Amino acid sequence: MNEYAVTFTQRETAQLRPIEVNTNAIGADEIAGHTTATLISAGTELNSGYLGDKFPKQSGYAATFKVEKVGENVAGIAPGDHAFCLGNHATYQRKPAAQVIRLPEGLAPETAIFARMMSVSMTTLTTTTARPPAKVLIAGLGLVGHLAAKNFQACGYEVYACDPVASRRQIASETGIHNVLPAVPLDDPDLAGQFQLAIECSGHEQALLDAAGAVRKRAEVVCIATPWRQYTQLPLHDLHRLIFFNYVVIRSGWEWELPRQPEDFRTNSIFENLAGALKWLTEGRVNVDGIYTKYDPEKCQRAYQDLLHKKTPRLAVVFDWAT
């Protein structure tokens, strides 16, 4: 049987191409099956893959698949189950069992893949000193910021989320984010200087500077978004001054700060957070209805072009492999 994967063949060119798969018998600690849905990471995949300079290159961030083969040492998952993994945009997934999570009953595969993007800000949720019901500011309402707002809101924080793009604000308001603003509220006497945590999800220097000016003394500003390019000529002195006189802690939001699997004397792990995100999605604590558009993988070039030129009506693109 032929298997296929979305492949970047040259700059700004994505094609669904045949691939070779491991045809050896399934390993004792492996799980395999055919893909049902995958999720594009617009920031990482566009900037480091689709607009890259090394080709051909396969890509992907998160996948769900129907389990077909299970190794003899694997427990708790069986053929016929649906599962989540950090998989590529391909028709077939084969992973170590430790890197696969069985989907909770009733959770749709195309919903489950959003656990991957939820987990980005769940590292900050795990490591921040801010505790509910503290005020939290989210700067940037792309997919990662949107889900960060919903994660923190689900945990009892008082969340304010801002973005200059009206369509992103509308999606946020329509899908359950409570306090949506066009900009960081630096001039609002009820909010300025009241945030215990600000999460920068836009990758824009001005947003980082504004966030640092909006938090309380000794609060945290966490940089989640990758600064793919320089947007402004802001002087470093402005940020330096806020750090010094407002005692601001500015740090990385690097999601892989956590171990992949649980470890003694460590708080949480990547796969514990992913399992928690799947549970929250199942329970409806975090809602992703109405935030994505589905594409046929055969139309992958159109999907990446629409993301690149901001022609998608929603925040995210899901490849539907089940049709």
Closest CA to 159 of 197, 117, 213: 197
Structure token digits, residue 212: 């640092």
What pTM does this model have? 0.96
Residue appearing with tokens 């990547």: 270
Domain that holds residue 205: 117-257
CA angle 254, 12, 322 (to 5 degrees): 75
Structure tokens at 180: 């949506």
Domain count, the chain: 2
Q: What is the pLDDT along the chain (323 residues), one digit of tens a residue?
A: 689 999 999 999 999 999 999 889 999 999 999 999 999 999 999 999 999 999 999 999 999 999 999 999 999 999 999 999 999 999 999 999 999 999 999 999 999 999 999 999 999 999 999 999 999 999 999 999 999 999 999 999 999 999 999 999 999 999 999 999 999 999 999 999 999 999 999 999 999 999 999 999 999 999 999 999 999 999 999 999 999 999 999 999 999 999 999 999 998 999 999 999 999 999 999 999 999 999 999 999 999 999 999 999 999 999 999 87
* Residues 121 and 93 occupy one common structural domain: no
Interacting residues of 220 by C-beta distance below 8 A, sequence separation 6+: 128, 129, 130, 196, 197, 198, 248, 249, 250, 251
User: Which of 239, 257, 275 is the last residue in one of the domains?
Assistant: 257
In a domain, 269, yes or no: no
> Is 272 among the domain residues?
no
- Say yes or no: 128 and 177 in one domain: yes
Is residue 274 in a domain? Answer: no
279 belongs to a structural domain: no
